[in-house]
Amino acid sequence: MRWELDIRCPAEGAWVADGNYETKGGDLVRARADTVIWLDFPRVTVMRQLAWRTARRGLLRERLWNGNRESLRNALSRDPERSVLLWSWTRHEPQRLRYAAQSDSRWVSLTSRTEVRRFLLNAEEASRLALR
């Protein structure tokens, strides 16, 4: 069976994509985006959120996609390929620097939950005004 990624981002019209698609779709998504929102949270914020979420999922045996579950044994592993915590810790700064180098005038960098809430409130208000 052959799997192919079906990325649809029309040149015209409205669409939203989340995540990082460059490994699968090249620059297609970013090239057609008029706005790129980058959640550039500090490492301490990312790690705190990730640790709580990982602990909750591991302790409660929460089902994820395809029936997968997070394992506390993996989370505490010293291998970054097994531990989402160690992977995030070691990749945070290199990824941050890579994104910073790619940013341009279309990028909106949000560095806190407060900035995200403010951005969403402003977008909602602009949307309401546009509909009038």
Digit-coded pLDDT (tens) for 33-49: 888 889 999 999 999 99
At residue 2 the predicted structure's pLDDT band, cuts being 50, 70 and 90, is: very low
Is this structure's pTM higher than 0.85?
no
pLDDT, residue 69, reads 83
Domain ranges of the chain: 35-131
pLDDT, residue 111, reads 95
3 versus 25: the higher-pLDDT residue is 25
Percent of the chain with pLDDT over 70: 86
**pLDDT tens digits along 64-96:** 888 888 888 888 889 888 899 999 999 999 999
Closest CA to 119 of 48, 36, 49: 36
Residue 17 has pLDDT above 90, yes or no: no
Residue 3 has pLDDT above 50, yes or no: no
pLDDT, residue 1, reads 40
